[in-house]
């Protein structure tokens, strides 16, 4: 199998596939605003930066995580000790009207810096063209190796996501003054990563879907196009209500930072949901915007959920999702919707996190006659498990059903005996109250 794919690999890639990365070894440190410092060696760009320090429990897919626009402004700490073993692929796909032009999740490294326990000096993979170190250096992203990332993680779990400085070279010896730390969540990061002008993918697709881009991962767009959707990507604050009749469905993507900066989009969406009955689907930031449009509040979690192993319990059945089943999901978020009781009229909880009972999904009720779903996790994966990938099929089929007969074929009333109310009252609510 490997041998067969090898035939398609460019010569350049084969030649470089097992080279070492150029480590610089300059002293480097992570200084936290709370006073702790962790010293190691630099292997990325020779520059110091500020950011928000977060940890991810993912074991693979450092390349996908680092190019995910939702990591913008963040210093990404990997709990897995050895990172970089399989290098970095050539991040270029043939750009045609059916593809997004990249292999990874966006053109650039989006996180501010990476911190790893032990960077792999040798890498080996049939798609690799360079090391993690040379990739970071080319993209001007600082990186530290040789620190105890598990100790940092234990600290962040206790004190929560903490502002930090990645200091390279002479800067490393002393922490900056407390007033110097920059808080990325104070800025509207979505505005920095969203497309500035609308563009189309697969214009001849069989169903027309508008995508509000809060910082879309490429695999979300691929997942829609691969299901033959004609996709129009719009800036996050675009006035969709002015053009909504041209579309069969609306999709809201993931995106970085505090959803409060995107209240404008939530208010526009509120009107869409009141006046338009076509399917709407949102992921992560998109889910938070849908929740805010529905009248729910978003709050900042202590350390968020980042990793590819987050179990979520489905509380309702819809399309490929069955109530009572646990799905393993990919996640990257700091904020979540509050679990309110009762939920706003016309809405119900869809998924709940098995570890911390946070809201992982909401949906419109069958009685509301609407077809709206939001999920906090990432069904498109990249990286992570594909347990919930068929939610894209459900959504595109629902849009097609609306277009063809104005009827539904995926949403069904949940008949499972999941004691949602009991679960929410006895398990989820007390846990969330304890967390607040």
Ligand X SMILES: NC(=O)CC[C@H](N)C(=O)O
Residues involved in catalysis: 284, 378, 380
- Min dist. Cβ of residue 1 to ligand X (A): 33
Distance CA 275, CA 293 (A): 13
Q: Is 284 a binder of ligand X (CB under 6 A)? A: yes
The binder of ligand X chosen from 254, 353, 364, 414 (CB under 6 A): 254
Question: Sign of torsion, CA 284 286 290 292?
Answer: positive
Relative to beta strand 229-235, strand 207-213 is parallel
Q: Whole-angstrom Cα distance, residue 424 to residue 208?
A: 37
Return the SS3 of 87: coil
**C-beta of 65 vs 131, nearer to ligand X:** 65
Give the binding range for ligand X (CB under 6 A) out of 21-29, 45-53, 252-260, 347-355.
Answer: 252-260
How far is C-alpha 408 from the geometric centre of its chain's CA atoms? 29
Q: How far apart are CA 397 and CA 350, in angstroms?
A: 19
Number of residues written out for the chain:
436
| Near ligand X by CB under 6 A: residue from 257, 307, 361, 384 | 257
Q: Which of 255, 279, 361, 379 binds ligand X (CB under 6 A)?
A: 255
User: CA 300, CA 322: separation in Å to the nearest integer?
Assistant: 29
The answer to whether residue 232 forms part of the interface with ligand X (CB under 6 A) is: no
The C-alpha atoms of residue 292 and residue 187 are separated, in whole angstroms, by 19
Which CB, 285 or 296, lies closer to ligand X? 285
- Closest separation in Å from C-beta 376 to ligand X: 8
- Cβ closer to ligand X: 87 or 184? 184
Q: Which is nearer to ligand X, 220 or 273 (CB)?
A: 220
One DSSP character per residue, 268-322 reads HHHHHHHH--S-EEEETHHHHHHHHHHT--EEEEEEEEEEEEEEEEE-S-BTTB-
A 10 A CB-CB count for 29 gives 24
Which residue, 13 or 189, has its beta carbon nearer to ligand X? 189
C-alpha 399: how far from its chain's center? 24
Question: Within 13 Å of residue 177, how many CA atoms lie on the same side as its CB?
Answer: 2
Please report whether residue 285 would count as binding ligand X according to CB under 6 A.
Answer: yes
User: Does residue 161 belong to the site contacting ligand X (CB under 6 A)?
Assistant: no
> Which one, 29 or 75, has the nearer CB to ligand X?
75
Stretch that binds ligand X, among 32-40, 100-108, 326-334, 342-350 (CB under 6 A): 326-334
Selected binder of ligand X within 56, 74, 232, 332 (CB under 6 A): 332
Q: How far is the CB of 273 from ligand X (least distance, A)?
A: 20
DSSP annotation of 203 reads T
Stretch binding ligand X (CB under 6 A), from 88-96, 104-112, 167-175, 253-261: 253-261
Q: Should residue 256 be labelled a site residue for ligand X when binding is judged by CB under 6 A?
A: yes
Provide the mask over 54-83, with x wherever binding to ligand X is found by CB under 6 A and - wherever it is not.
----------------x-------------
Where are the alpha helices (H) located in 11-67, listed in sequence order?
11-16, 62-66
- Residue 334 touching ligand X (CB under 6 A): yes
- With CB under 6 A as the contact rule, the residue among 33, 333, 363, 370 that binds ligand X is 333
Q: How far apart are CA 58 and CA 242, in angstroms?
A: 41
Least distance to ligand X, CB of residue 255, Å: 5
**Structure tokens, 49:** 């930066």
Tell me which residues touch ligand X (CB under 6 A): 70, 254-257, 284-285, 332-335
């Amino acid at each position: 199998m490997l041998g067969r794919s090898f035939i398609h690999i460019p010569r350049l890639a084969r030649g470089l596939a097992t080279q070492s990365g150029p480590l610089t070894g300059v002293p480097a440190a992570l200084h936290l605003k709370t006073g702790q410092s962790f010293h190691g060696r630099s292997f990325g760009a020779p520059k110091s930066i500020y950011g928000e320090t977060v940890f991810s429990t993912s074991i693979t897919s450092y390349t996908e995580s680092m190019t995910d626009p939702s990591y913008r402004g963040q210093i990404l700490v990997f709990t897995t000790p050895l990172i970089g073993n399989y290098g970095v692929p050539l991040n270029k796909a043939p750009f045609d009207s059916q593809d997004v032009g990249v292999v990874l999740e966006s053109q650039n490294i989006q996180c501010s810096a990476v911190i790893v326990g032990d960077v792999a000096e040798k890498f080996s993979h049939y798609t690799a063209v360079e090391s993690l170190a040379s990739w970071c250096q080319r993209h001007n992203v600082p990186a530290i190796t040789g620190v105890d990332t598990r100790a940092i993680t234990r600290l962040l779990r206790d004190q929560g996501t903490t502002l930090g400085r990645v200091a390279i070279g002479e800067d490393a010896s002393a922490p900056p003054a407390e007033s110097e730390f920059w808080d990325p969540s104070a800025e509207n990061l979505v505005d920095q990563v969203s497309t500035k002008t609308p563009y189309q993918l697969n214009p001849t697709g069989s169903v027309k879907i508008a995508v509000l881009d809060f910082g879309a991962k490429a695999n979300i767009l691929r997942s829609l196009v691969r299901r033959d959707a004609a996709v129009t990507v719009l800036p996050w604050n675009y006035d969709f209500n002015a053009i909504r009749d041209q579309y069969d469905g609306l999709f809201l993507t993931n995106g970085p930072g505090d959803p409060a900066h995107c209240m404008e989009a939530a208010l526009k969406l509120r009107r869409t949901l009141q006046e338009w009955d076509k399917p709407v689907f949102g992921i992560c930031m998109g889910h938070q915007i849908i929740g805010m449009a529905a009248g729910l509040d978003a709050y900042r979690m202590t350390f968020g959920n980042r990793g590819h192993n987050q179990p979520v319990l489905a509380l309702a059945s819809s399309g490929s999702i069955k109530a009572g089943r646990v799905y393993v999901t990919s996640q990257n978020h700091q904020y979540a919707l509050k679990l309110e009781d009762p939920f706003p009229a016309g809405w119900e909880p869809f998924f709940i996190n098995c570890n911390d009972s946070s809201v992982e999904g909401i949906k419109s009720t069958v009685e509301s006659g609407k077809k709206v779903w939001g999920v906090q996790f990432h069904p498109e994966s990249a990286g992570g498990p594909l347990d919930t990938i068929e939610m894209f099929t459900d959504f595109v089929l629902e849009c097609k059903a609306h277009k063809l007969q104005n009827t539904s074929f995926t949403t069904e009333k949940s008949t499972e005996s999941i004691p949602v109310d009991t679960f929410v009252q006895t398990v989820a609510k007390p846990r969330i109250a304890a967390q607040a």
